[in-house]
Amino acid sequence: MNRRNITILAASLLMLALASGKASTQERLPASMMYGPLTVNRTHIVFTLAGDLWMVDRKGGDAKRLTSSPGESSFPVISPDGSMLAFSRQTGGQWEVYSMPAAGGEAKRLTWHPSRDVPVAWAPDGKSVYFLSSRSGNRKLYRIGIDGVLPEELPFWDAAAASISPDGNRIAVTPQSGLMNWRVYRGGMQGRLWLTNLTDWSTEEITRGNQNEELPMWIGTRIYFVSDQSGIFNLHSYDLVSKRSRQLTKFEKYGIRFAGAGSESIAFVRDGRIHLHDVKTDVTNVIDIQVEPDRRELQPRTAVAAQFNDWAALSGNGDKVVLGIRGDAFVFDPAKGVAVNVTNTPQAAERFPMLSPDGRSIAYFSDESGEYQLHIRSLSGD
């Protein structure tokens, strides 16, 4: 049996039992976290955290997990009546659009395409979802009914974000995204804000200047958006009646990263916290949210070692194989079909184990001291 076959055989036969204690029910994650895209309605905020969707009262408090599927979920958008949620889920390596009740429940898949599909808005009647996809080359805007029938491509050359007017006749679009992670970006992908009539497809650029304008959100007679006109991404609004825009927040150090709108307010992420802006009073408040840590990966379970095998080496005479699996060193005897964990150190990681020529010792690198150091261990217990 050659070395490769022995390695494959060893990895396929091993099974590991991994266990750890349960987290205290009193434990909470810190207030400042890596929140992702979010949305809001009259009563709740739905946000992305650690690959799942969560819901919390607009006043803050304990968050409820809405998704727990193997793939990541993100980009939530709440329907106009607040009853349904559209979002994107990573399915088989691809992002597809799903819908589900906003309070949680069974999700229904709406798109079936290998390209990345991301929802951006609901139609005012709640019967269809607008989403972005590069299935035809450029990233374009599409519309699909909640029954999941074939989507309709809208005649935009490119689109990065969009919001629909309350009457459904117009749409605010940013054709390109100016890379919000790049402060004061002024390159060819600079974000601009356009207004398009969905009846005759006439289009006008509604703001001008040497700044990025991102994430349009249409509420009443105003279009809210995020702009770095001041050098930092702040919340702005454009009045469709007076045709004037103004800056609503005055952040100077850390700007807005994600934003989503409801009928009365805008939720956004800044400096690791979720903020809520009331569009009637123009008052912004930080929302205090408590989230229980996700300990699913630390719960007792059986894992197939072949998925985690990252190192294999033969003994001098080829009768044994030493394996590196999840930070432990295993010695496998193919003749007996027995594998032994010879390090078994949950608090440290062992890497690149090798058997001595006589097979009586094993050498490996371990970070038990805080830095990787060379260790030699006897296999006979001497």
Domain ranges of the chain: 3-19+300-378, 38-290
**38-290 has which CATH code?**
2.120.10.60
Print the SS3 string covering 208-275: CCCCCEEEEEEECCEEEEEECCCCCCEEEEEECCCCEEEECCCCCCCCEEEEEECCCEEEEEECCEEE
**Mean local confidence (pLDDT), 215-234:** 95
Q: Quick one: pLDDT band at residue 158, thresholds 50, 70, 90?
A: confident
Q: Quick one: pLDDT band at residue 298, thresholds 50, 70, 90?
A: low
Give yes or no for residue 18 having a pLDDT over 90. no
Q: Quick one: pLDDT band at residue 29, thresholds 50, 70, 90?
A: low
Q: Quick one: pLDDT band at residue 11, thresholds 50, 70, 90?
A: very low
CA dist., res. 309 & res. 4, Å (int): 13
pLDDT in tens, 364-376: 999 999 999 999 9
CA dist., res. 220 & res. 237, Å (int): 11
**Mean local confidence (pLDDT), 119-146:** 94
pTM of this prediction?
A: 0.73
| In contact, 243 and 225? CB cutoff 8 Å | no
Give yes or no for residue 12 having a pLDDT over 60. no
pLDDT at 363: 95
* Residue scoring higher pLDDT (259 or 302): 259
Amino acid at 91: T
The top-scoring range by mean pLDDT among 90-94, 198-202, 271-275, 376-380 is 271-275
**Mean local confidence (pLDDT), 300-310:** 78
pLDDT in tens, 62-91: 999 999 878 899 999 999 999 999 999 998
The dihedral built from the CA positions of residue 247, 132, 34 and 189, taken in this order, carries a sign that is negative
Give yes or no for residue 300 having a pLDDT over 80. no
